[in-house]
Amino acid sequence: MQLELDGIGKRYGDEHALRDVDLVLEPGVVGLLGPNGAGKSTLMRIVTTVLQPTDGRVRWNGTDVREEPRAIRDSVGYLPQSFGVYPSLTAREFLRYLAAIRGVSNVGERIDDLLALVNLEAAADRRLGGFSGGMRQRVGIAQALLADPELLVVDEPTVGLDPTERVRFRNVLAELAEDRIVVLSTHIVSDVEVTASDIVLLHDGRVLAHESPAALLDEVEGSVWEWTVGDDDLAEVKREYTISGTARRSDGVAVRVVSASRPTPAAEPAEPTLEDAYLDAIGR
Ligand SMILES: Nc1ncnc2c1ncn2[C@@H]1O[C@H](COP(=O)(O)OP(=O)(O)OP(=O)(O)O)[C@@H](O)[C@H]1O
C-alpha cells in the first residue's frame, strides 16, 4: 500500500497553493501539519481526486490516478473540512443513504460498528439537525470509514471535539492506521504528537520536512531555552526569538524560546516538544 506524490503543484490564478510536493506515504498516521493557508486542504483534495493538480502526479500503488481515478476512489475515505449533513435524517439513516449512493453494500452491521466506534450508539436514531458540532464531526468520521478504505484522509477532524473526544478519536485513528494510510491534517500539534508515525510540515505550499516525530525532536534538541524576563524586556525577546510559550510568574514572565545558541546566560536548556520543532521549522 503506497501513496506517492510526485512534483505536485497547484495554482489558483497567480497564487501557488502548492509547489513541488514530493511525498511517499505508507501505512500509519501521517500528520499533515501547517498553519492556516499552508495548503493542507488543497493537498488533501488532490489526493482524493476532488481537485486536479496543476503539475505533477499522484500514484496509488503505482497507478497514476489522473489516468485511472477509480484506482484511488475505490480505496479512499474522506472527511472534508466542511462536512454537511441532512438535518432531517437520523445518523443511521444518513449513513445508510451515503452507503447506498456510493454503492457500498451489506452495510447494516458495519453501520452499527461505526456508530459504536465514534461513540454515537445512543444517538443513532436521533435527527442530525439536533446534533452538536462535535457529534456531526463524529458522523463525518463514520461516513469516511463506510467502505473500509485503505486510505483515510481527514481534514482537521478534531475541530469541534471536546478534549475527551479528541483523545478518543486520536486513538481510533491510530488503531485504524495499523493496516492503512491515515492522512490527518491539523494545525494543532498535540493532535499528531503521540500517534503519528510521520509528520509532514507544510508551509506556504512547500514541504518543509517529512520525518518521524522523534527525528523532528532531535533537530531541536539543545535549541530550546527557558528563563524569566521582566515585563519591560518581553517585547524585545518576542522580536528577536521564536517564542514557544510564556507563563506569568511572580517575578516576571517565564519565556520558552527556540534558538540555536543560548540567548542569554540566564537561559536554561529545556526538553524539546514537537511544538518547539514545528515553530522552529515554520520560523526558519
Ligand atoms: N478555491 C480557491 N481559490 C483561490 N485560492 C484558494 C482556493 N482554495 C485555497 N486557496 C488558497 O490556497 C492557499 C492554500 O489553502 P488551503 O485551504 O489548502 O490551506 P490550509 O492549509 O488547508 O489552510 P486552513 O488550515 O486554513 O484550512 C491559501 O492561500 C488559500 O487562500
- The CA-atom distances, in angstroms, between 44 and each of 32, 81, 141, 195, 221 are 9, 10, 15, 19, 31
Residue 284 has pLDDT above 90, yes or no: no
Tell me, in angstroms, the distance from the centre of ligand 1 to residue 112's CA.
35
Say whether both 231 and 184 belong to one domain: no
pLDDT, tens digit, 9 for 90 and up, residues 175-190: 889 999 999 998 888 8
* Residue at a domain's end among 166, 185, 211: 211
CA of 41 relative to ligand 1 center, distance in Å: 7
Whose alpha carbon is nearest atom 29 of ligand 1?
A: 37
Which atom of ligand 1 is found nearest the CA of 34? 21
CA distances for 49 relative to 20, 45, 250, 276, angstroms:
18, 6, 55, 34
The pLDDT of 152-165, averaged and rounded, is 87
Residues 43, 151 within the same domain: yes
Span from the CA of 129 to the centroid of ligand 1 (angstroms): 29
Distance CA 50, CA 150 (A): 17
Give residue 89 CA to ligand 1 midpoint distance, Å. Answer: 31
Q: Do 157 and 258 fall into the same domain?
A: no
User: Which range marks the domain in which residue 158 is found?
Assistant: 1-211
Distance 85 CA to ligand 1 centre (A): 23
Do 206 and 220 belong to one domain? no
C-alpha cell belonging to residue 128:
442530525
Q: Which of 162, 191, 211 is the last residue of a domain?
A: 211
Q: What is the pLDDT of residues 199-224, one digit of tens each?
A: 999 999 999 999 999 999 999 999 99
- Is the pLDDT assigned to residue 245 strictly greater than 80? yes
pLDDT in tens, 13-40: 999 999 999 999 999 999 999 989 999 9
In terms of domains, do 17 and 130 share one? yes
Output the ligand 1 site: residues, CB below 6 A: 12, 15, 17, 34, 36-42, 81, 187
CA atoms within a 13 Å half-sphere pointing along the CA-CB vector of 67: 7
Ligand 1: centre distance to CA 197 (Å): 26
List the CATH number of the domain containing 186: 3.40.50.300
| Same domain membership, residue 151 and residue 111 | yes
Q: What is the pLDDT of residue 160?
A: 77
State whether 135 and 225 are in the same domain.
no
- How crowded is the C-beta side of 271, counted as CA atoms within 13 Å? 1
Atom of ligand 1 nearest to the CA of 187: 25
Residue nearest to atom 28 of ligand 1 (CA): 37
Does 93 lie in the same domain as 65?
Answer: yes
Distance of alpha carbon 210 from alpha carbon 176, whole angstroms: 21
ipTM over 0.85: yes
**Looking up cell 452495510, which residue turns up?**
107
Name the closest-CA residue to atom 5, ligand 1.
12
230 vs 161, higher pLDDT = 230
Give the distance (Å) from ligand 1 centre to CA of residue 261: 35
91 close to 126: Cβ distance less than 8 angstroms: yes
Residues 130 and 190 in one domain: yes
Specify whether 148 is located in the same domain as 182. Answer: yes
Is 241 in the same domain as 149?
Answer: no
pTM of the full structure = 0.89
* Atom 8, ligand 1: residue with shortest CA distance: 42
- How does pLDDT run across 83-119, given as a tens digit for each residue? 889 999 999 999 999 999 988 888 889 999 999 998 9
Domains held by the chain: number = 2
Q: Could you tell me the pLDDT band of residue 161, with boundaries at 50, 70 and 90?
A: confident
Q: Which residue of 41, 185, 202 sits with most ligand 1 atoms within 8 Å of its CB, as the best mutation to test the pocket? A: 41
62-101 residues labelled b (16+ CB within 10 A) or e (exposed): eeebeeebebbbebbbbbbeebebeeebbbbbbbbebbee
Q: Are residues 31 and 129 in the same domain?
A: yes
Which of 176, 211, 246 finishes a domain? 211
Cell numbers placing 42: 488543497
